[in-house]
Amino acid sequence: MKKNNYKKYNSNVKNGKLSYVVKHGILGWGVPVGIIITIWNYIDEKPQDFTNFIIESLPNLIVYPITGIFFGLIMFKVTKNKISNND
């Protein structure tokens, strides 16, 4: 592992699991994916009633951030293993 990557990974892990999961899992993966899927559905469906579309899209904006928690936990473990293997 390159020295710059090691410092970056180490600083991410030092901030703690909760911080990592919120930053990388929820905000870095879950919310953007939920928004992208919602935009994709909007382009694909071309809804006439925007209000109903937003209501129908709420599950995307809830489920993907929740899934981001699991993604963040997995990535935290992977990152921590990279650091411990490099020490």
Q: pLDDT tens, position by position, for the chain (87 residues)? A: 566 666 776 777 788 899 999 999 999 999 999 999 999 988 898 888 888 888 989 999 999 999 999 999 999 999 888 888 876
Residue 4 pLDDT: 64
What letter represents residue 26's amino acid? Answer: I
Rounded to two decimals, the pTM is 0.80
Q: How far apart are CA 21 and CA 34, in angstroms?
A: 16
Q: How far apart are CA 53 and CA 64, in angstroms?
A: 17
